[in-house]
Amino acid sequence: MESLLGDCCGPGSAFDVQRQHLSTYVFNHYAEFDTDAGAFADIFPNSIARILGKGISLVGGIPDGPVLDLGCSVGRTTFELAGNSNDLVLGIDLNFSMLQMAGGIMNSRTAIYGRRQGGIVFERRNFPVDFPRMEAVDFWACDVTNLPFADATMALGTSLNLIDCVSSPYDHLRELTRILKPGGSALLSTPYDWSAYATSVESWIGGHSQRANNQGRSMEILRSLFADGGHPHAMEGLSLAAEEDNIPWTLRLHDRSFMTYFVHLMVGRKK
């Protein structure tokens, strides 16, 4: 039925775009559990988990208290956080197909998806997935620029490769800062892959106006948004605690195409 719908809807359709996104992100999150992950499967199939692992080490371990995984996609980072903590972990996203996939994996301990071979040709994959403490996880559809949580309620908030995908990166950072408890940590990573399709140019954090004092360098501007960075609109109370640059994040597009970003990882601490 999926193959028939794909042929009828054709390339570039909403159905095709949804399948391509799921193919890319489910492979990135879970391909290591698939006994037949295809050619070149050893090219960082779980690179998002590696980024999270580096971030947790920079934080110094997951603090006690509830954890919020913003932009959780299909759920791997949410499950990893739960397996390394003693409290509840909530995955947040606005992509319903990805949340549905994450919830399906949580409930069935099985990943079922179409892995793109090329064009609009997909191969159906079905394999078991299991993590410790999956019962401590839930997934919600929420806007990360306007979170439905009280101030100072979360011990850790993660935002992995999300800030360049939201309508207002500044509002996203403001909300992340607001919901953290004193002493809580914010874990951010980004490849600074700005696109006017996701974020209006005037809301980009750098990536434009080479004539500015910082010459449009996103990394410098994001650093300045931490409390000690000197930006007039810096996040009050959130200080930069640690960072690491050029961490590879590799995404599979189809059998013969992989794309690698190099992300900037930062840890902020709530004073």
- 85 band by pLDDT with thresholds 50, 70 and 90: very high
Q: What pTM did the predictor assign?
A: 0.94
Task: Give the pLDDT of residue 99.
Answer: 97
Res. 40 pLDDT band, cuts 50 70 90: confident
The pLDDT of residue 194: 95
User: Can you list the domains of the chain with their CATH numbers?
Assistant: 47-110+129-270 (3.40.50.150)
Q: What is the pLDDT of residue 58?
A: 96
Lowest-confidence region among 27-31, 109-113, 225-229: 225-229
Q: How far is CA 23 from CA 34, 116, 120, 210, in A?
A: 13, 6, 11, 36
For position 215, what pLDDT does the model report?
A: 78
pLDDT of 108 reads: 97
pLDDT at 47: 92
